[in-house]
Amino acid sequence: MKNMAQYIESSPVSPSINDLDLSALSSASWDDELDFDASGSSDSGSSIDEAPLLYSPRTLKLTVWQDPNCPCCYIGDREMDKAIACVREREGDVQVQLEYKPFLVDPALPFGKPISRQEHLKDRYGSLQAESLQRMIRTRGEELGIDFKFTGPISSSLNAHRLIMHAYTIGGGLAQQHLLSAIHRSVLEECQDVGCIDLLSSCAEKAGIMSKAEALDFLRSGELGEKVHEEIVVARTERGVSGVPFTVIDDKWAVTGGQSADVYEQIFMKVLKKEIVG
């Protein structure tokens, strides 16, 4: 397990944090370390809205790197949303400027040719480690009202990332969050293929972003494909992202893993109150 100094850190453009008093709190990211905290609580619904482009000290700017194939990202999004609701209850006028960025946990996953998720996990982590990871994630999911399943297909999430990026141009971070929630539910609870454009277009329609026909047209066009690839390269080479979720606050502070709502809330409050300085 990691303490606060390990999972909240400066981004490449910021100084490090030396005076945080939030020790003995752990991270949860879907990466090769398999460092997963099985604590958590239930979901309280979306708390994100769109902040003005010129944000004030009463605004949290959140940039989240994620992969729709990643259960820790689903958990992290639920917990982060709960934390935002708690911060607003305490502080009142806090706004959130949110954007999701693409990341591939496993770039080797086939594009357009789904394979068995269960076999993929065993091949990637080994049978015993994969089983242990799944048990921990299921436990955390139950506490959040998420019914994780690890059967069904898995493939590259590149098309999903294109659609999520497109959603930002339509309705900002809130549109992205609604779409991502629909994709997470379909892929991680209903065992559907994240690479299926019919599924993705249905998710876009359910999220109220565009019609299914419009989403299909976009997905078939190949638009934003190069941009997604560029963003993924930047994440790994310039931002130092190696596991997700990876959240950058106000373009400075990076929080790794799907933390509990309490941890996110403490970090957000410290940032808002300027207790974290660089």
Tens of pLDDT, residue by residue over 23-68, are 322 334 545 333 333 333 333 356 655 544 444 558 999 999 999 9
Question: How high is the pLDDT of residue 274?
Answer: 81
Q: 240 falls in which pLDDT band (50, 70, 90)?
A: very high
More confident site: 231 or 253? 231
More confident site: 214 or 19? 214
Question: How high is the pLDDT of residue 276?
Answer: 58
- CA torsion 114-119-123-128 (nearest 10°) is 150
Mean pLDDT for 196-215 is 99
- Residue-range domains of the chain with CATH: 45-108+156-272 (3.40.30.10)
Of 180, 188, 127, 122, give the one whose Cα is nearest residue 154: 188
Does the pLDDT at position 246 exceed 50?
yes
Question: How high is the pLDDT of residue 15?
Answer: 30
Q: 93 falls in which pLDDT band (50, 70, 90)?
A: confident
Average pLDDT, the chain: 84
How far is it, in rounded angstroms, from Cα 20 to Cα 18?
A: 6
Question: How high is the pLDDT of residue 26?
Answer: 33
More confident site: 242 or 38? 242
Question: How high is the pLDDT of residue 201?
Answer: 99
Percentage of the chain beyond pLDDT 90 is 74
How far is it, in rounded angstroms, from Cα 270 to Cα 277?
A: 9
Beta bridge partners of 102: 66
Question: How high is the pLDDT of residue 13?
Answer: 33
Question: How high is the pLDDT of residue 48?
Answer: 56
Does the pLDDT at position 103 exceed 50?
yes
Q: How far, in Å, are 207, 213, 221 from residue 216 at the CA level?
A: 14, 5, 9
Indicate if the alpha-carbon torsion angle 35, 85, 194, 256 is positive or negative: negative
pTM (predicted TM-score):
0.82
- Per residue in 139-191, pLDDT tens? 999 999 999 999 999 999 999 999 999 999 999 999 999 999 999 999 999 99
